[in-house]
Amino acid sequence: MTNNLIIKCSSSGLVKYTKESAIEQKVVNKYSYSLDIIAGEYAIVSDDSGVIMQTILGSCISIVVYDVKLQITGFNHYLIPIGNGLKSGKESTEELLKQMYKLGSNKKDLLIKIYGGASLSSLGMNSINIGQKNTNFAKDFCDLNKFKVRQMEVGGSYGRILQIKPFFITTSKNIK
């Protein structure tokens, strides 16, 4: 197990945190901290860090990756399937996995959950269903790489608030 690991990455670079030094973190209760992730970022935390990661998704996707052996969870938040930088699913997911492999993760120990991909066209958003394209990318990426997808909460016409707690416990609530 990787002790008290907290990593957050955005286009400006990789940052390692401790509970005491993370400015973005806020106390949720006396045992846990919250780490907010926005589009174009990813994070990795160990179960023993007590950190709850969270994000808000519309047509975007978050791929949540859990290493059952190392007891670390990583997740990303991307806007488009393919493009430049961490706002694209391809680069964001590849970078997240590369960082987890550097920490000692093995592909056979990884479990996946996928969230987001709402169609927001009913709200006057872009008529091209980017949510469906993002979902298709996530599914195809996992199929191509033979990852075990344990759960998918995708589609719909509302955004979601996603929280990832230690030990791969996730909660997703619709935003209406």
- Find the CATH number of the domain harbouring 162: 3.30.1330.200
In the chain, DSSP assigns E strands to 6-10, 13-17, 26-27, 33-36, 41-46, 51-57, 61-67, 72-77, 110-116, 148-154, 159-165, 169-175
Determine the distance from the C-alpha atom of residue 32 to the mean position of all C-alpha atoms in its chain, rounded to a whole number.
18
Is residue 103 within 8 Å of 111, Cβ to Cβ? Answer: no
Mean pLDDT over the full length of the chain: 85
pLDDT band at 127 (very low <50, low <70, confident <90, very high): very low
pLDDT band at 125 (very low <50, low <70, confident <90, very high): low
pLDDT band at 134 (very low <50, low <70, confident <90, very high): very high
The domain containing residue 143 runs over which residues? 6-175
Return phi, psi of residue 26, to 5°. -135, 150
Residue 33 has pLDDT above 70, yes or no: yes
The verdict on residue 1 lying in a domain is no
pLDDT band at 167 (very low <50, low <70, confident <90, very high): confident
pLDDT band at 168 (very low <50, low <70, confident <90, very high): confident
Burial of 10 (0-12, 13-18, 19+ CB in 10 A): middle
Instruction: For residues 73 and 44, give the distance between their C-alpha atoms in angstroms, rounded to a whole number.
Output: 5
Q: Is the pTM of this model over 0.75?
A: yes
The verdict on residue 39 lying in a domain is yes
Is residue 26 within 8 Å of 17, Cβ to Cβ? Answer: no
Domain count, the chain: 1
Determine the distance from the C-alpha atom of residue 163 to the mean position of all C-alpha atoms in its chain, rounded to a whole number.
10
Instruction: For residues 85 and 136, give the distance between their C-alpha atoms in angstroms, rounded to a whole number.
Output: 19
pLDDT one-digit tens code per residue, 51-77: 889 999 999 999 999 999 999 999 999
pLDDT band at 29 (very low <50, low <70, confident <90, very high): very low
What order do you get walking across the sheet with 61-67 strand by strand?
13-17, 6-10, 41-46, 72-77, 61-67, 110-116, 148-154
The verdict on residue 54 lying in a domain is yes
